[in-house]
């Protein structure tokens, strides 16, 4: 039995030569629009026989460096001399991007936890299904740009992991080096396999992600890292002829090893941090104090780091609930 195609229809023809701008028409039937569609902007440029590169942002709607970099790229795409095909979707979970929230206001869907998606599922599941069945198969290299969103500050880092196929390692490392992020981080997601990246890798695609800032704001420094990095990757692939204005600098490699590199809240309350983003901390070092706002006379619970490392992620909100991630550490590593 063959699988059914996506219910999302594109107004652009991905096989057509030239520059096109249009939308992915996401069906959304609701009280005020029985046959409604949500148009998700998409731009494609195709010339020559080079590789197909898919660039996306807005996987989470409150992470802005990626979408802004991609919208700036879109505004000059029609003038680019390329050899291949470039597909750009700056606000992939468009309802969330419109709303400036991590998840969709329609179904509360977190797109980056819904792959491979569902053709007949919720709005966000349908987006995941379209990406997985329509965009991934036609792409050779995929880059998805993130940031920490409203709840995190994230040190700027390219997220990377060597493909399972060892024959792809050299090509993959060339992309990492071309992007030239200050830090490249191999992240243990503690078994999470519903992500965009996990789905892309299951299809054997060369995939890079990145976290560049946080707080639902746009940092000029981090935006430049994204813009320059994307330009260098596209140039290294031979997709664009325009040489990068800024050469890549060596990247340092760090790794989130296991759950010991995560710090979670043990109860609800207000957290007083005893660390800052970028700090190097030791195992057993005091991470902060958790105050019970219902019983402020009780001694604060002290939380300690379970491993040594560098603070790569710090929670924005001091109010926490049990299980909230407060910090993520990483340690220096090598590829092999």
- In sequence order, what DSSP letters do the residues of 225-241 get, joined into one string? HHHHHHHHHHHHTTSB-
pLDDT in tens, 288-335: 999 999 999 999 999 999 999 999 999 999 999 999 999 999 999 999
For the stretch 150-186, pLDDT in tens is 999 999 999 999 999 999 999 999 999 999 999 999 9
Instruction: Kindly report, residue by residue over 208-234, the tens digit of the pLDDT.
Output: 999 999 999 999 999 999 999 999 999
* Helix residue spans in 100-148 (DSSP H): 123-130
Buried b (16+ CB within 10 A) or exposed e, 71-88: bebbeebeebebebbbbb
- What is the SS3 assignment for 315? strand
Single out the residue in 255, 282, 310 at which a domain terminates: 255
Clarify whether residues 190 and 65 are in a common domain. yes
Q: Is residue 291 part of a domain?
A: yes
Whole-number Cα distances in Å, 267 to 207, 259, 262, 316 = 36, 18, 15, 17
Please indicate, yes or no, whether residues 245 and 296 belong to a single structural domain of this protein.
Answer: no
Residue where a domain terminates, one of 233, 255, 277: 255
3-class SS letters over 269-290: EEEEECCCCCCEECCCCEEEEE
Its pTM surpasses 0.85: yes
Provide, rounded to the nearest whole percent, the portion of the chain with pLDDT above 70. Answer: 99
Angle at 62 between CA 173 and CA 210, to 5 degrees: 5
User: Same domain, yes or no, for 108 and 212?
Assistant: yes
- Closest listed residue to residue 53, CA positions, set 65, 45, 61: 45
Query: The CATH number of the domain where 99 resides is what?
Result: 3.40.630.10
Q: Is residue 3 part of a domain?
A: no
Tell me the mean pLDDT in the region 9-24.
Answer: 98
DSSP, collapsed to helix, strand or coil, labels residue 106 as: coil
Number of structural domains the chain divides into? 2
Q: Of the candidates 236, 255, 274, which is a domain's last residue? A: 255
DSSP 191: T
Q: Is residue 30 part of a domain?
A: yes
Strands 206-214, 141-146: parallel, antiparallel or unpaired by DSSP?
A: parallel
Structure token digits, residue 86: 């470039």
233/305 same-domain check:
no
Both 51 and 185 in one domain: the answer is yes
Distance CA 82, CA 192 (A): 36
What are the beta bridge partners of residue 144?
56, 209
280 plus 234 within the same structural domain: no
Residue 1 lies in a domain: no
Q: What is the pLDDT of residue 207?
A: 98
Token duo for residue 287: 């991470």
Q: Are residues 162 and 283 in the same domain?
A: no
Encoded tokens for 312: 């790569």
Nearest to 313 by CA among 273, 284, 285: 273
Q: Examine the domain organization and report whether 120 and 148 are in the same domain.
A: yes
Q: Do both 246 and 280 map to the same domain?
A: no
pLDDT value at 142 more than 80: yes
C-alpha radius of gyration, the chain, whole number? 21
State pLDDT tens for residues 60-108: 999 999 999 999 999 999 999 999 999 999 999 999 999 999 999 999 9
The parent domain of residue 220 ranges over 9-255
The whole-number pLDDT of residue 2 equals 42
Question: Considering the domain boundaries, does residue 4 fall inside one?
Answer: no
Within-domain flag for 279: yes
Confidence grade of residue 4 (pLDDT, cut at 50, 70, 90): confident
Please report which confidence band the pLDDT of residue 3 belongs to, taking 50, 70 and 90 as the band edges.
Answer: low
Asked whether residue 324 falls in the same domain as residue 250, the answer is no
pLDDT at 206 over 50: yes
Does residue 318 lie in a domain region? Answer: yes
Same-domain check for residues 281 and 162: no
* CATH assignment of the domain containing 269: 2.40.50.100
Residue 2 in any domain: the answer is no
Mark whether 237 and 103 lie in a shared domain.
yes
Closest-CA residue to 62 (of 104, 101, 119, 8): 101
Cβ–Cβ under 8 Å, residues 127 and 117: yes
What does the pLDDT look like over 241-292, one tens digit per residue? 999 989 999 999 999 999 999 999 999 999 999 999 999 999 999 999 999 9
């Amino acid at each position: 039995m063959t699988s059914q195609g996506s219910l999302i229809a594109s107004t652009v023809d991905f096989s057509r030569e030239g520059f096109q701008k249009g939308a992915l028409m996401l069906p959304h039937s609701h009280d005020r629009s029985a046959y409604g569609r949500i148009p998700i902007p998409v731009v494609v440029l195709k010339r020559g026989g080079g590789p197909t590169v898919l660039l996306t942002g807005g996987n989470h709607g409150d992470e802005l460096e990626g979408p802004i970099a991609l919208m700036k790229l879109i505004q000059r795409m029609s003038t680019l001399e390329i050899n291949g095909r470039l597909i750009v979707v700056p606000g992939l979970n468009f309802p969330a991007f419109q709303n400036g929230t991590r998840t969709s206001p329609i179904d509360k869907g977190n797109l980056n936890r819904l792959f491979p998606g569902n053709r007949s599922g919720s709005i966000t599941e349908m987006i995941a299904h379209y990406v997985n069945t329509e965009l991934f198969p036609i792409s050779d290299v995929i880059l998805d740009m993130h940031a920490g969103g409203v709840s995190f500050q994230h040190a700027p880092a390219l997220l990377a992991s060597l493909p399972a196929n060892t024959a792809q390692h050299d090509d993959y490392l060339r992309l990492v080096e071309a992007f030239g992020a200050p830090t490249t981080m191999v992240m243990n997601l503690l078994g999470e396999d519903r992500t965009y990246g996990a789905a892309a890798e299951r299809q054997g695609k060369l995939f890079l992600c990145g976290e560049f800032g946080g707080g639902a704001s746009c940092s000029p420094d981090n935006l430049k890292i994204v813009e320059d990095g994307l330009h260098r990757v596209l140039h290294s692939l031979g997709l664009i002829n325009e040489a990068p204005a800024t050469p890549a600098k060596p990247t340092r490699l760090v790794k989130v090893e296991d759950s010991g590199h995560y710090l979670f809240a043990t109860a609800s309350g207000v957290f007083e941090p005893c660390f800052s983003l970028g700090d190097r901390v030791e195992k057993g070092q005091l991470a902060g104090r958790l105050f019970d706002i219902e019983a402020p006379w009780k001694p604060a619970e002290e939380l300690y780091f379970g491993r040594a490392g560098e603070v790569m992620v710090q929670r924005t909100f001091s109010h926490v609930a049990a299980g909230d991630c407060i910090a993520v550490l990483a340690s220096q590593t090598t590829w092999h």
